[in-house]
């Protein structure tokens, strides 16, 4: 607010450029945070027991700036991680990887590692339910891609084929995951349609 004589008030509330940037940069939650919130809701409703897998890290060096606080200053991964999430739903083992891309036209297969696909293939071989959740953040669209649909793209990629999956292909062959207030990434609705 300005005074009638044209002077600026010391209490002016015009947002600075820094504040405007900050408010736009934190508009939405990340895919991982959305899935974690969804899994918490599933557990609270006793619908499923699905958790994020911790990445195994070997701590090498710790700095103690205060007696009450420790800061890890050096560490390394003990082994390659498998997929992001696993658990039990309706008596079935569930195992999936979640990836987010800012790309508007395709999902780069370089976002996934070969050991993760090997793990997923093993889960499928043993009768578990495995899939990918892919979010196109520019469109705020999230898709479930069953492993059986995804594996041919991966195998083709390893044999010199395309290094990405076009957005239109994911729209056609994937399943759009509905957004709900509590189950932000309600992927079990898709799993119900596909497997039960």
For the chain, the 3-state helix, strand and coil shares in percent, each to the nearest 5, are 35, 30, 35
95 among annotated binding-site residues = no
Which CATH number goes with the domain that contains 140?
3.40.1350.10
Q: Which residues contact 154 (CB under 8 A, 6 or more apart)?
A: 109, 112, 117
101 among annotated binding-site residues = no
Does the pLDDT value for residue 134 go beyond 50?
Answer: yes
Q: How many domains does the chain have?
A: 1
Look at residue 79 in the predicted model and tell me its pLDDT. Answer: 56
Residue 4 domain-assigned (yes or no)? no
116 among annotated binding-site residues = yes
Of residues 23 and 175, which shows the higher confidence score?
A: 175
At residue 28 the predicted structure's pLDDT band, cuts being 50, 70 and 90, is very low
Residue 16 domain-assigned (yes or no)? no
Residue 6 domain-assigned (yes or no)? no
Look at residue 157 in the predicted model and tell me its pLDDT. Answer: 94
Stretch (H or E) spanning 114: helix 114-125
Percentage of the residues of the chain whose pLDDT score is greater than 70: 78
58 among annotated binding-site residues = no
For the segment 137-157, what is each residue's pLDDT rounded down to a tens digit? 999 999 999 999 999 999 999
Look at residue 69 in the predicted model and tell me its pLDDT. Answer: 78
Residue 8 domain-assigned (yes or no)? no
Residue 151 domain-assigned (yes or no)? yes
Look at residue 4 in the predicted model and tell me its pLDDT. Answer: 52
Domain holding 94, by residue range, is: 29-195
d(CA 129, CA 40): 20
Does the pLDDT value for residue 113 go beyond 50?
Answer: yes
Look at residue 16 in the predicted model and tell me its pLDDT. Answer: 41
Look at residue 25 in the predicted model and tell me its pLDDT. Answer: 35
Question: Three-state SS for 115?
Answer: helix
At residue 76 the predicted structure's pLDDT band, cuts being 50, 70 and 90, is low
Residue 14 domain-assigned (yes or no)? no
Q: What is the 3-state secondary structure (H, E, C) of 126-192?
A: CCCEEEEEEEECCCCEEEEEEHHHHHHHHHHHHCCCCCEEEHHHHHHHCEECCCCCCCCCCHHHHHH
Residue 13 domain-assigned (yes or no)? no
């Amino acid at each position: 607010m300005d005074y009638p004589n044209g002077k600026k008030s010391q209490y002016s509330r015009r947002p600075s450029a820094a504040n405007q940037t900050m408010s736009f940069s934190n508009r939405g939650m990340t895919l991982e945070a959305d899935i974690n919130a969804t899994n918490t809701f599933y557990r609270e409703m006793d619908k499923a027991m699905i958790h994020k897998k911790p990445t195994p890290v070997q701590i090498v060096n710790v700095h103690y700036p205060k007696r009450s606080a420790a800061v890890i200053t050096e560490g390394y991964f003990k082994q390659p991680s498998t997929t992001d999430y696993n658990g039990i739903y309706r008596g079935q083992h569930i195992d999936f990887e979640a990836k987010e891309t800012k790309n508007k036209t395709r999902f780069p297969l370089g976002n996934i590692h070969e050991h993760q696909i090997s793990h997923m293939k093993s889960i499928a071989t043993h009768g578990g339910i495995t899939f990918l959740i892919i979010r196109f953040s520019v469109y705020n669209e999230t898709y479930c891609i069953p492993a059986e649909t995804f594996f041919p793209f991966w195998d083709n990629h390893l044999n010199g084929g395309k290094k990405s999956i076009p957005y239109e292909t994911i729209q056609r062959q994937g399943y759009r995951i509905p957004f709900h207030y509590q189950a932000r990434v309600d992927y079990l609705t898709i799993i119900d349609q596909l497997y039960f």
